[in-house]
Amino acid sequence: MKFRPISGKITMEYPCRWVYKIFGRDKDRMREALGEVLAGYDYSVTPSRSSRHGNYHCMNLDIPVSNEQERTGIYEALQAHSAIILVL
């Protein structure tokens, strides 16, 4: 992934791989949500961290994106799913 500053803004070169951090309460429901939202995509998921008492979990989602619209569309679809609390 390459970044080029232009007039104080960062632009990205597409296609590239993008990593989202997703947070939720139930790991299995989070994985099901990814399967629903990302059907047809080639992606990988790795566990990240869990809260001390296991109430919250974080996973890293690595996925290729073709353009800005696809990247933001995936973000919005993930954020809208009930199994996902937060997407970064």
Q: Give per-residue pLDDT as tens, 18-36.
A: 999 999 999 999 999 999 9
Q: How far apart are CA 69 and CA 51, in angstroms?
A: 32
DSSP label of 65: E
How much of the chain is in helix, strand and coil states, percent to nearest 5?
25, 40, 35
Look up residue 74 and give its two tokens.
């995936």
What confidence category does residue 6 fall into, taking pLDDT thresholds of 50, 70 and 90? low
**Rounded CA separation 73/7 (Å):** 25
pTM comes to 0.85
Model confidence pLDDT, tens digit, residues 32-77: 999 999 999 999 999 999 999 999 999 999 999 999 999 999 999 9
